[in-house]
Copies of this chain bind each other. A is one copy, B any other.
């Protein structure tokens, strides 16, 4: 049961403390606890959650949608179906995006080969 200060968590997840506080303010991290002096303490669970947020954000999901997903997640198995539907839809989006990236890669490579 390790607890991280915001500086340590920041280091761990490669996001600034500003960003971590911002995510919390936006409701993406509803379960971060605070010590007696009011300072945030991040648990492994929190870091995992941040990791998944980075995954969703890195694949083009907006913070607004990530919050929606997180809100469903907070409601447990009652919202399992909705939540998974979101992920499945997002999965398609990622697959499509990878295809597009590959197409663009070819375009860039063609341009490199052009030699003009």
Given A94-B105, A112-B87, A112-B91, are A100 and B58 also a contact pair (CB < 8 Å)? yes
A95 at the interface (CB under 8 A from B): yes
A97 to chain B, nearest CB (A): 6
Contact of A108 among B90, B100, B104, B112 (CB under 8 A): B90
For this chain, the copies found in one complex come to 2
Contact of A84 among B77, B97, B112 (CB under 8 A): B112
B108–A97 CB distance below 8 A: no
> Please, which residues of chain B bring their CB within 8 A of the CB of A55?
104, 107-108
A59 at the interface (CB under 8 A from B): yes
A82 at the interface (CB under 8 A from B): no
B94–A104 CB distance below 8 A: yes
> Please, which residues of chain B bring their CB within 8 A of the CB of A77?
116
> Please, which residues of chain B bring their CB within 8 A of the CB of A104?
55, 58-59, 94
**How far is A116 from B81 in the complex, measured between Cα atoms in Å?**
10
A25 at the interface (CB under 8 A from B): no
A107's nearest neighbour on chain B, judged by CB, is B55
